[in-house]
Structure 1
């Protein structure tokens, strides 16, 4: 009976968010929205080339895990300032991709 042996590899791929312009004339500024730019993520030629190279070298994608960052907003609800509020939420910053590749079967006795 032969046992399969594997080696493992992990890579991180960042996720960008859409940017929206706010303001007018000299008061214009860019503000990051809460909407991920999925089209840019999927169309990235460097990431596509890297995934193709990994596949050509025998690496199999086993799992994908989002990497989350905690965000918080705290503010005052009324003009008198006697009521506060707070919100906490998680935002995906990217993905960890886990790969495995068969090394070579070993002979067991």
Structure 2
């Protein structure tokens, strides 16, 4: 019977927040900023995953980790406004067979 060791790794995503408009309705856009920033983040994640693979870890599952943003009040009340969710990072699940 095979025995396995398990490990998790959390990899956050880097966002740059930009506020659009300053009137009654505020919007924000979450993005990586410059395209070079997105390419750098992708290369960094690939290097991390490759390092796990070189150590014998097999990626068995990935789960997005969400966060809620944009819960600021509006101009007509102090109650929280409508927010939205974005992916904050990814949780990777690995396994490696024990000798």
Shorter-chain TM-score tier: 0.5 to 0.7
Instruction: Determine the C-alpha separation between the residues in 1 that align with 2:40 and 2:17.
Output: 12
Offset of residue 8 of structure 1: 0.4
What TM-score results when the alignment is normalised by the length of structure 1?
0.62
Question: What's the C-alpha RMSD, in Å, of the aligned pairs?
Answer: 2.8
Long gaps (5+) in structure 2: 21-27
The more displaced of 11-20 and 32-41 is 32-41
Instruction: Determine the C-alpha separation between the residues in 2 that align with 1:70 and 1:50.
Output: 26
**Count of residues in correspondence between the two structures:** 86
Q: CA-to-partner distance for each residue in 1:2-33, whole Å, 9 max, x for gaps?
A: x111100111111011465x9xxxxxxxxx84
Q: CA-to-partner distance for each residue in 1:49-81, whole Å, 9 max, x for gaps?
A: 3322211121011111111112213202xxxx4
CA contact 1:17–1:33 (8 Å) conserved in 2: no
Offset of residue 85 of structure 1: 7.2
Q: Secondary structure at the match of 2:82?
A: strand
Offset of residue 41 of structure 1: 2.0
Would you identify which runs of 4 or more consecutive aligned residues in structure 1 move more than 4 Å? Answer: none
Instruction: Determine the C-alpha separation between the residues in 1 that align with 2:54 and 2:8.
Output: 16
| Aligned equivalent of 1:93 | 88
| Aligned equivalent of 1:43 | 43
Q: Does 1:70 align with 2:68?
A: yes
What TM-score results when the alignment is normalised by the length of structure 2?
0.67
Highest Rg: 1 or 2? 1
Structure with more of its chain in strand, by fraction: 1
Instruction: Determine the C-alpha separation between the residues in 1 that align with 2:6 and 2:31.
Output: 32
